[in-house]
């Protein structure tokens, strides 16, 4: 097993990075590693169901540089989740990558051992999913679960892990981090749990975060909060994002590039602005029409809320306060 030396090596690298983090030199470190080098490159990936002998995903390609965000839109069963799972190395049983290549931070993942995967996940690539409650242990305080990630992934001592976990809870803009640290999953709302999960996901300073329908089950206002948080993290730390959703608008709000998937095929791909304004494929047009005919865009596209009205928000709030 040649993995031992490799493990030590990656460990050392990670410690260096963690050290850099603490001294507050994060910002220069990442862009210094040439911003154009992709942290994730997916090239013509094909995924097959070996049991049925069927190809489910017929070639997906995209590259992700630090601070960039790619969105994948599609209906359920379009293969968007399988693509994400393939990049995380967690495809369900009897599904396999049968073509193309995936490189994470310059490392081809097809030959990785499970120890190498463990080192990679959390530290380089991380993910959050739709149902946050099922990814947390209900009988352990949520803070301790984040601290555990820090202890395992960054090798921190108990007290330091506790301190950094609270910092993370603060970073995901939970209002009372000390209180949340001591709470259990049932005491937190869906939006708060998703924040906790994001905190755990970014605990080991990953370079890529995959958010697979992470806001689908949440209220619209909470969804916006989470999306704002992701945008914020991306700007502050140069985190690269893969955002998966069935709603084109969710993806459009945050991403530079959009992939539209249908039945395992990428039917449209390009810069968000291009896709929104010059959709080529009929399915993309349907996604846009849905918003323009039935969504808020029906009202806003013709007569957008202007800035003067927006500025009046606070005044209106005062009025309500008086009447209440």
The answer to whether 179 contacts another protein (rule: CB under 8 A) is no
Answer positive or negative: Cα dihedral of 227, 71, 284, 216.
negative
The answer to whether 289 contacts another protein (rule: CB under 8 A) is yes
Integer-rounded Cα radius of gyration of the chain = 21
Binding marks (x or -) toward another protein, 203..222, rule CB under 8 A?
----------------xxxx
Whole-number Å distance between alpha carbons of 60 and 51: 22
CB closer to another protein out of 163 and 246: 246
Are the beta carbons of 130 and 214 closer than 8 angstroms? yes
Using the rule CB under 8 A, which residue among 10, 41, 223, 237 binds another protein? 223
Whole-number Å distance between alpha carbons of 68 and 234: 8
The answer to whether 320 contacts another protein (rule: CB under 8 A) is yes
Please name which of 265, 243, 261 lies closest in space to residue 252, comparing C-alpha atoms. 243
Whole-number Å distance between alpha carbons of 187 and 65: 37
CB closer to another protein out of 140 and 316: 316
List the interface residues with another protein, window 74-103 (CB under 8 A): 74-79, 81-82, 85, 92, 95
| Closest distance to another protein from the beta carbon of 85 (Å) | 7
CB closer to another protein out of 29 and 301: 301
Q: How many residues bind another protein (CB under 8 A)?
A: 67
Using the rule CB under 8 A, which residue among 249, 256, 270, 280 binds another protein? 249
Specify the 3-state DSSP secondary structure of 203.
coil
Whole-number Å distance between alpha carbons of 285 and 189: 35
Binding marks (x or -) toward another protein, 42..81, rule CB under 8 A?
-------x-xxxx-x-----------------xxxxxx-x
| Closest distance to another protein from the beta carbon of 92 (Å) | 6
Q: Which span sits near another protein by CB under 8 A: 120-128, 162-170, 194-202, 306-314?
A: 306-314
Q: DSSP string of 195-242?
A: HHHHHHHTTT--SEEEEESTTTTS-HHHHHHHHHHHHHHHHHH--EEE
Q: Which span sits near another protein by CB under 8 A: 58-66, 109-117, 192-200, 287-295?
A: 287-295
The helix-helix angle for 190-201 and 158-171 (nearest 10°) equals 130
Please name which of 251, 261, 244, 260 lies closest in space to residue 85, comparing C-alpha atoms. 244
Q: DSSP string of 123-177?
A: TTEEEE-S-GGGGS-TTS-HHHHHHHHHHHHH---HHHHHHHHHHHHHHTT-S-H
Q: Which residues contact 322 (CB under 8 A, 6 or more apart)?
A: none
Using the rule CB under 8 A, which residue among 247, 257, 266, 268 binds another protein? 247
Q: Which span sits near another protein by CB under 8 A: 31-39, 117-125, 158-166, 284-292?
A: 284-292
Binding site for another protein (CB under 8 A): 49, 51-54, 56, 74-79, 81-82, 85, 92, 95, 189-190, 219-225, 228, 231, 246-250, 252-253, 264, 276, 286-301, 303-305, 307, 309-310, 313-314, 316-317, 319-321, 324
């Amino acid at each position: 097993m040649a993995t031992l030396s490799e493990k030590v090596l990656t460990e050392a690298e990670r410690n260096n990075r963690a050290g850099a983090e603490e001294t507050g030199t994060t910002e220069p470190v990442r862009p210094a590693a040439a911003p154009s080098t992709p942290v994730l490159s997916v090239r013509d990936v094909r995924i097959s169901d070996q049991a049925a002998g069927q190809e489910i995903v017929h070639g997906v390609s995209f590259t992700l540089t630090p601070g960039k965000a790619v969105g994948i839109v599609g209906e359920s069963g379009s293969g968007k989740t399988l693509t994400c799972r393939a990049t995380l190395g967690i495809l369900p049983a009897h599904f396999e990558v049968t073509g193309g290549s995936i490189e994470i931070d310059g490392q081809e993942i097809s030959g990785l051992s499970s120890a190498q995967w463990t080192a990679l996940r959390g530290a380089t690539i991380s993910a959050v999913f739709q149902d946050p409650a099922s990814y947390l242990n209900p009988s352990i305080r949520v803070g301790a679960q984040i601290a555990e990630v820090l202890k395992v992934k960054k090798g921190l001592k108990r007290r330091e892990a506790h301190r950094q976990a609270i910092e993370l809870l603060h970073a995901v803009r939970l209002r009372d981090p000390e209180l949340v640290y001591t709470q259990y999953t049932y005491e937190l709302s869906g939006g708060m749990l998703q924040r906790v999960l994001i905190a755990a996901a970014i605990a080991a300073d990953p370079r890529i975060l995959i958010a697979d329908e992470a806001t689908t089950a949440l209220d619209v206002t909470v969804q916006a909060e989470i999306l704002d948080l992701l945008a914020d993290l991306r700007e502050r730390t140069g985190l690269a994002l893969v955002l998966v959703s069935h709603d084109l608008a969710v993806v459009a709000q945050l991403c530079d590039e959009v992939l539209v998937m249908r039945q395992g095929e990428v039917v449209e791909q390009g810069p968000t602005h291009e896709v929104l304004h010059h959709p080529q494929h009929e399915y993309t047009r349907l996604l846009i029409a849905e918003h323009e005919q039935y969504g808020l865009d029906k009202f806003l596209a013709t007569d957008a809320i202007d800035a003067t009205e927006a500025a009046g928000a606070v005044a209106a709030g005062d009025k309500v306060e008086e009447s209440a």
